[in-house]
Structure 1
């Protein structure tokens, strides 16, 4: 039976890091299933899910940890069984607001208070049209209990302030 591993990857960005990672996975019979990667402030960061034969899980984890000598820190953990059986629906959110300290914390609390669970989340700063000051933008996928009203999530987020725009798709 195959084992599914979820890992985080971090290292100073340079060409060839994904090759190092994929070579270690392939050499141990692994199959790359899903990933998200980005360059942030000169660092390469990613999350990856792979599947490998149970018999090679230990060797694969050791090979991944060995990449630290090449400047790539990998932390891998086996997936513990299937995902929650609770029925959930997903919605896409797009939030724009004036940037301020603590906005991610406030947004995360509003999503949680509105019954949501963050599935994917991307944040960044953009220059405001005409004014040029920094605007915070968050985009993501949020799951909510099946049959619940997405307006509850919208209302929870909108309570963060009048300078905020929320679109839920």
Structure 2
């Protein structure tokens, strides 16, 4: 069975090792992860393959990490895997309050599945302002067009640019 762990803690060395040991000691196989530090906090999600009979061992192992300041939630993965076409795009525009809500609202209105999202802000080299950047991995069904998605996002504002990233 596939298990998803979500992890939060104050950042410090050894967090990943502690979680990896808890998974391995329960007989789990670490399949993939997204781990990051922001504002002094460690956050991560991990997908693990585990025999159903070992789930309670994994729960006990991760609960024990609570005394070390780690908060770990366990969810059983869904077995339904909807086939979608994966596409990666970059979205760049002047940063403003609500830009993430605008972009994701547009995608939701088009029934587009967000598979992976990375956002950041950075100084705009020429204007002295701040640029918003997002790399989005989209899951499109057979009847959805990447060109329509791009057009829909670019229609949000004149300064919003969308590029298809390599591999598509």
Residue segments in structure 2 that go unaligned for 5+ positions in a row: none
Work out whether 1:64 is the aligned partner of 2:57: no
When the two chains are superposed, the root-mean-square deviation of aligned CA atoms in Å is: 1.3
The Cα offsets for residues 77-129 of structure 1, whole Å up to 9 and x where unpaired, read as 11132323xx3211111011111111111100111223311000000101101
Moved over 4 A (4+): none
**Deviation string, structure 1 residues 36-82 (Cα, Å, up to 9, x no partner):** 11111111111100011211111101211221110111001111323
| Paired positions, count | 165
Structure 1: gaps spanning 5 or more residues: none
Q: TM-score, normalised by structure 1?
A: 0.92
- For residues 159 and 76 of structure 2, what CA distance do their matches in structure 1 show? 42
Q: Residue 6 of structure 1 contacts residue 50 of structure 1 at CA under 8 Å; is this kept in 2?
A: yes
How far does residue 153 in structure 1 lie from its aligned partner after superposition? Answer: 0.3
1:138 aligns to 2:139 (yes or no): no
Aligned twin of 2:101? 105
TM-score by length of 2: 0.93
Please give the alpha-carbon distance, in whole angstroms, between the structure 2 residues aligned to 1:158 and 1:95. Answer: 9
Task: Report the Cα distance in structure 2 between the residues aligned to 1:45 and 1:105, rounded to whole angstroms.
Answer: 21
| Mean Cα deviation higher: 67-76 or 113-122 | 113-122
Q: In the alignment, what sits opposite 1:27?
A: 25
Find out whether 1:10 has 2:8 as its counterpart.
Answer: yes
Pick which of 24-33 and 111-120 moved more: 111-120
1:41 corresponds to which residue? 39
Q: Which residue does 2:75 correspond to in 1?
A: 77
